Amino acid sequence: MELWGDHSDVESDSEWVRKVSANGVSMKTTEVEAKLDQGNIQEAEASLREGLSLNFEEARSLLGKLEYQRGNVEGALRVFEGIDLQAAIQRLQPSLAEKPSSRRGRFRTESVHAVSQHAASLVLEAIYLKAKSLQKLGRVSEAAHECKSVLDAVEKIFYQGILDVQVDNKLQEIVTQAVELLPDLWKQAGFYHEAIAAYRRALLSQWNLDNDCCARIQKGYAVLLLYGGVEAGPPSLAVQIDGSYVPKNNLEEAILLLMILMRKFILGKTQWDPSVMDHLTFALSVCSQTPVLAKQLEEIMPGVYHRVDRWNSLALCYSGAGQNKAALNLLRKSLHKHERPDDIIALLLAAKICSEDSHLAAEGVGYARRAINLAQGIDEHLKGVGLRTLGLCLGKQTKVSSSDFERSHLQSEALTSLEGAIPLEPNNTDLIFELGVQYAEHRNLTAALRCAKQFIDETGGSILKGWRFLALVLSAQQRFSEAEVVTDAALDETAKWDQGPLLRLKAKLKFSQSLHMDAIETYRYLLALVQAQRKSFGPPRIQAVDDKVNEFEIWHGLAKLYSSLSHWKDAEICLGKARELKQYSVEALHTEGVIFEGRGQFQEAFAAYNNALLLEPCHVPCKILISALLSKRGLKALPVARSLLSDALRIDPTNRMAWYYLGMVHKDDGRKADAADCFQAASMLEESDPIESFDSIL
């Protein structure tokens, strides 16, 4: 057992001579050590008692310490076992009469006077060294019991806790070491519950620990709480103070302790320990509290982390909480050419964030290209990820492209990138899904269908959007009944509360098949579901809100359904309900216009469409309907109608209604050939419109 390794060179030095001193006398230990080496404890003890005028316990304690320092822990243990330490502790305890009457009274500095403090530290040190000896011999749980008795004794002797002024340095040192050692011993012995109790005892009682020691204990405890696998339960009521925060489970307690440690570093009370931040990062990200983590990162003084590291970590935190805008701003800083432009993870994250917003997509293309170029050497495995994000960004960019040419160029480039990623990312089901959506947007429905089926197969149907996508592709192929079969299969695989989007899809499918009563029935069921959901979860929902159908959509869907059946009264009632839930809605205004138009109130319809366009200038269906209304007013209005339709087609080039009305305008204007082209486009597109837009599921 190499315990004194750092001293081995010193020990070989002949200058190294141990001395013992007490009562103003000191003596060399050579002789005593020789006796000890012969296994003659009594004689060694006797020579110490003689030489230094010590009593039996003092001599034994000193002897044990000597053996311990010599590295002979077995010998030390033998010596300590010869002392009745418990009896010694008994003698040290103040009698009941000595206890002061008032609890808050000044500590009895006089009663525990210098002499008994000396005796106390002698006995406590002996027990402590016994514990350490046992620890070194691997008898950890015995060591823990000894160590615990040190603390028990201290609590009995100083039953009001330890304050600075009361105890001498030596005693304080032993107490501090014992407080720190005990939980560690329980932990080593595998007694985690006892370790937790010992940590709490260390942190919640008055031991007058120094900052560094307290920080080490807090960290050790946090680690045990986080990873030990034993639930600690809330601390006892005795230590709880009114209005203070009481952790009630391991995560809360660990995070609290780690935050306190961070605060101590920031205030300069303890040394910086990067692992504290790592533990905190793990704890907070596992419970999805990355914004809290971001706050912690922001509080750290400059100079601890490199600023780029900090920006990148912050970006992960914000992006992890869906605050992508903040994340992107940070990444822009860190990816600046003067900072760290070649950080591949930062580039990929930036590209991914950009791929979710058509106005940022072009910027994302740049990041993705940089990432692809950097995917070499040990990062080569990330090339597929780069291509995938590039494809997604390009696909998103098509939504805002200004010309048809640019659009088709971007679209095919997007497809090439995603297809190129497939062999590099085998079995990446998300990639297959994204490629499928891209095919669908490109109206390559056969390929899209293949991807959709593959996605469902490989995910075992576990992802809802896979089912929805398959149904949409089938609906785009006008295979409504098959789409319905898929939707029904998906409903079977979905728990009640998640069925909303599927039921909405089903209602629309019924509607497309002119099964109006079935559609109404489905909407009614959906409405009941949504209302029940709202009641059972209450308004401030802690459930995830994504992918849920809201009540507005249902009322609005019903309004559209009734208006298509020319049941204007019912349509109006449903629309009224919808507008109660959402006052300014483009969709509602659009439907309102349709109802007015159906009733022959063209002026009001026109106003409704216009209002909708004021809310959302790019709303294609309203543009089309306005131009349809205008084109009925005669030749004078045709150029306006035509420009509106061209605009609509610029935004949505696959909109068959826009092509159809543009054809009508050309026809009315006498441009037969142009009209024929438009009608042809409209008739071709009719075959491939999905029931809900494809990008609604990405």
Partner 1 sequence: MFDHSEPTTPSSTSTPTSEHAPSISLDSLSKTKSAVESLSSILSSFPSNLSFSISSSNLNPAFSLLHDPQVASQVSSLLREPNSGAGDNNLCRWLYDTFQSGDPNLQLVVLRFLPIIVGIYLSRVALRKPLAGFEAILLALYAHETTSRAGQPITMNVPNLSLPSVYHEAKAPINNSTELNLAVISPSLEPHGTVRSTRRARIVGVALELYHSKIYHMPVGSKIDFCDFCVVWAGQDNNDDDRDLNKESESNGRKEGRIQLPWELLQPVLRILGHCLMGNTKNKELFDAAWAACNSLYARSMHDINPKALLATGSLLKLGKKAMEPSEDLDPTEIRKSNVLVI
Q: Check binding of 522 to partner 1 (CB under 8 A).
A: no
Among 34, 87, 163, 246, which residue sits at the site for partner 1 (rule: CB under 8 A)? Answer: 246
Q: Check binding of 140 to partner 1 (CB under 8 A).
A: yes
Q: Check binding of 352 to partner 1 (CB under 8 A).
A: yes
Q: How far is the CB of 19 from partner 1 (least distance, A)?
A: 5
How far apart are alpha carbons 559 and 570 in whole angstroms?
7
Query: How far is residue 316 CA from its own chain's centroid?
Result: 10
| In contact, 312 and 343? CB cutoff 8 Å | yes
DSSP letter at 150? H
- Angle, vertex CA 67, rays to CA 66 and CA 72, nearest 5: 150
Q: How far is the CB of 478 from partner 1 (least distance, A)?
A: 27
Nearer to partner 1, 122 or 649 (CB): 122
Site residues for partner 1, 495-514, by CB under 8 A, read: 495-498
Site residues for partner 1, 59-118, by CB under 8 A, read: 61-62, 65-66, 68-69
Q: Check binding of 289 to partner 1 (CB under 8 A).
A: yes
Nearer to partner 1, 69 or 564 (CB): 69
Residue range at the interface with partner 1 (CB under 8 A); choices 123-131, 507-515, 617-625, 638-646 = 123-131
Closest CA to 429 of 457, 404, 399: 457
What tokens does 362 get? 């072009």
Site residues for partner 1, 540-579, by CB under 8 A, read: 542-544
Q: Check binding of 698 to partner 1 (CB under 8 A).
A: no
Number of residues that bind partner 1 (CB under 8 A): 130
Residue by residue, DSSP assigns 303-339 as: TSS-HHHHHHHHHHHHHHTT-HHHHHHHHHHHTSTTS
Nearer to partner 1, 216 or 548 (CB): 216
Q: Check binding of 325 to partner 1 (CB under 8 A).
A: no
Q: Check binding of 19 to partner 1 (CB under 8 A).
A: yes
How far apart are alpha carbons 57 and 88 in whole angstroms?
9
Q: Check binding of 175 to partner 1 (CB under 8 A).
A: no
| In contact, 18 and 29? CB cutoff 8 Å | yes
Among 113, 263, 325, 336, which residue sits at the site for partner 1 (rule: CB under 8 A)? Answer: 263
Among 72, 172, 218, 522, which residue sits at the site for partner 1 (rule: CB under 8 A)? Answer: 218
Nearer to partner 1, 384 or 593 (CB): 384
Q: How far is the CB of 348 from partner 1 (least distance, A)?
A: 5
Query: How far is residue 13 CA from its own chain's centroid?
Result: 57
Q: Check binding of 281 to partner 1 (CB under 8 A).
A: yes
Q: How far is the CB of 494 from partner 1 (least distance, A)?
A: 5
Report residue 269: phi and psi, to 5°. -80, -25
Q: How far is the CB of 151 from partner 1 (least distance, A)?
A: 13
Nearer to partner 1, 253 or 597 (CB): 253
Q: Check binding of 369 to partner 1 (CB under 8 A).
A: no
Residue by residue, DSSP assigns 345-402 as: HHHHHHHHHHTT-TTTHHHHHHHHHHHHHH--GGGGGGHHHHHHHHHHHHHHHGGG-S
Nearer to partner 1, 164 or 492 (CB): 492
Residue by residue, DSSP assigns 563-632 as: HHTT-HHHHHHHHHHHHHH-SS-HHHHHHHHHHHHHTT-HHHHHHHHHHHHHH-TT-HHHHHHHHHHHHT
Q: Which residues pair with 25 in a beta bridge?
A: 22
What tokens does 558 get? 């019903």
Nearer to partner 1, 305 or 568 (CB): 305
Report residue 25: phi and psi, to 5°. -115, 145
Q: How far is the CB of 495 from partner 1 (least distance, A)?
A: 5
Binding mask 437-476 for partner 1 (x = CB under 8 A): --------------------xxxxxxxx------------
Longest Cα–Cα distance in the chain:
130
Closest CA to 271 of 219, 312, 222, 221: 219
Residue by residue, DSSP assigns 633-688 as: T-GGGHHHHHHHHHHHHHH-TT-HHHHHHHHHHHHHTT-HHHHHHHHHHHHHHHTT
Four-point Cα dihedral 634, 636, 638, 644, nearest 10: -120
Closest CA to 312 of 289, 281, 284: 281
Q: Check binding of 44 to partner 1 (CB under 8 A).
A: no
Site residues for partner 1, 220-239, by CB under 8 A, read: 223, 226-231, 235, 239
Nearer to partner 1, 194 or 551 (CB): 194
How far apart are alpha carbons 665 and 686 in whole angstroms?
19
Q: Check binding of 635 to partner 1 (CB under 8 A).
A: no
Nearer to partner 1, 664 or 697 (CB): 697
Among 35, 47, 51, 58, which residue sits at the site for partner 1 (rule: CB under 8 A)? Answer: 58
Nearer to partner 1, 251 or 651 (CB): 251
Site residues for partner 1, 373-412, by CB under 8 A, read: 378, 381-382, 384-385, 389
Q: How far is the CB of 98 from partner 1 (least distance, A)?
A: 25
Q: How far is the CB of 35 from partner 1 (least distance, A)?
A: 16
Residue 4 vs residues 71, 84, 195, 235: alpha-carbon distances, Å: 7, 29, 28, 40
Nearer to partner 1, 86 or 240 (CB): 240
If DSSP states are collapsed to H, E and C, what string results for 401-456?
CCCHHHHHHHHHHHHHHHHHHHHHCCCCHHHHHHHHHHHHHCCCHHHHHHHHHHHH
| C-alpha Rg value of the chain to the nearest Å | 39
Q: How far is the CB of 396 from partner 1 (least distance, A)?
A: 15
Among 85, 122, 134, 682, which residue sits at the site for partner 1 (rule: CB under 8 A)? Answer: 122
Burial class (CB in 10 A: 0-12, 13-18, 19+), 186: buried
Nearer to partner 1, 279 or 656 (CB): 279
How far apart are alpha carbons 641 and 627 in whole angstroms?
4
| In contact, 473 and 450? CB cutoff 8 Å | no
Q: Check binding of 138 to partner 1 (CB under 8 A).
A: yes
Nearer to partner 1, 98 or 278 (CB): 278
Among 116, 166, 208, 285, which residue sits at the site for partner 1 (rule: CB under 8 A)? Answer: 285
Q: How far is the CB of 6 from partner 1 (least distance, A)?
A: 9
Site residues for partner 1, 176-195, by CB under 8 A, read: 177, 180-181, 184, 188-194
